[in-house]
Amino acid sequence: MSADPVAYGLPEFSRALELAKIIGFKDFNDCLHPAIAEQHCTDLFTCNYKDFKRIEHHTTLKIHFIK
């Protein structure tokens, strides 16, 4: 696991917009995180059950919910 920052560009931003359209533009940042993670990871860990539960069926990431 790495905590190093990664850059993102137009492909990730476009993917985040795609996810935001699917979930109704509730919180764009919650869409940007998986859009970037899809390029670098297979799993995403979050405490944000409400928003990421809506996103998990629209991403290739395995989303793990932390209690």
3-state secondary structure of 50: helix
d(CA 52, CA 8): 20
Q: Which residue, 63, 41, 43, 45, is CA-closest to 53?
A: 63
Task: Determine the pLDDT at residue 38.
Answer: 96
Task: Determine the pLDDT at residue 16.
Answer: 96
Q: Looking up tokens 């920052």, which residue turns up?
A: 5
- For 11-63, what is each residue's pLDDT tens digit? 999 999 999 999 888 789 899 999 999 999 999 999 999 889 999 999 999 99
Cα angle 45, 41, 23 (rounded to 5 degrees) comes to 60
Task: Determine the pLDDT at residue 2.
Answer: 65
**Maximum alpha-carbon separation in the chain:** 33
Q: Model-level pTM?
A: 0.84
